[in-house]
Amino acid sequence: MRRALFPGSFDPFHNGHLEVVERASKLFDEVVVAAMRNPQKAGPLFSLEERMDLVRLAVDGMQNVSVVALASLVVDLAREVEANVIVRGLRAVSDFEIELQMAQMNRELSGIDTLFVPTSSEYSYLSSKLIREVAAYGGNVSSLVPKAVDVALRERGRPS
Ligand code: ADP
């Protein structure tokens, strides 16, 4: 059984993330998407429960994908869910340096390897931060995020 763990903040989950999950789900028997309890970025827009629900709605219909919370080290969760590989998306060279460092650290800590999925150029400029910013000022992000995320962002409204 080949099981991959895809960790991230997913605040919110967008089409770049979805593409990584879709591609990983074809490469592995199972994919576990893990939403970080405490993203480093202060004050997430969506709570952990909301982020997990939005990921679940987005991956609905993908039989071999599940969603969990990440409250520990990624490598500890990987061991817990018996994942053989950590999956991360790569947008541009700018992602590479930090991702390589994390991959090497995780391998040192646990022996678990990281597989990088290069994003398609269609989504390579997407980040959760940018989506939050555009949506906060009423920009239309409907082509960049799953339907449920678009609805949730609209409900969240503009900052006062
Ligand atoms: P961000 O807040 O930067 O969008 P996350 O912490 O939620 O990102 O990222 C989780 C994973 O998703 C990381 O491996 C990140 O490189 C990847 N990722 C983020 N945006 C994209 C994208 N547009 N295409 C592919 N992978 C992405």
The percent of residues above 90 in pLDDT, for the chain, comes to 89
Give the CA count within 13 Å in the CB-facing half-sphere of 149.
Answer: 28
Look up the domain containing 40 and give its range.
3-124
**Is the pLDDT score of 160 beyond 80?**
no
**Is-cis flag, bond preceding 12, omega within 30?**
yes
Inside any domain, residue 116: yes
- The strand pairing partners of 89, in sequence order, are 117
Number of domains observed in the structure of the chain: 1
Catalytic positions are 17, 41, 91, 128
Inside any domain, residue 147: no
Q: Are 86 and 78 spatial neighbours (Cβ–Cβ below 8 Å)?
A: yes
Question: pTM (2 decimals)?
Answer: 0.94
Give mean pLDDT, residues 52-72: 97
Inside any domain, residue 130: no
C-alpha distances (whole Å) from 148 to each of 108, 143, 151 are 38, 12, 5
Could you tell me the strand order of the sheet in which 85-90 lies? 65-70, 30-36, 3-8, 85-90, 113-118
Inside any domain, residue 9: yes
Ligand 1 within 6 A of CB of 54: no
Residue 89 belongs to a domain with what CATH number? 3.40.50.620
**What separation in Å is there between the alpha carbon of 28 and the centre of ligand 1?**
19
Inside any domain, residue 145: no
Inside any domain, residue 50: yes
Residue pLDDT, tens place only, 132-151: 999 999 999 999 999 999 99
- Known binding-site residues for ATP equal 9-10, 17, 89-91, 99, 123-129
Inside any domain, residue 138: no
Inside any domain, residue 118: yes
pLDDT at position 72 is 93
**What separation in Å is there between the alpha carbon of 53 and the centre of ligand 1?**
18
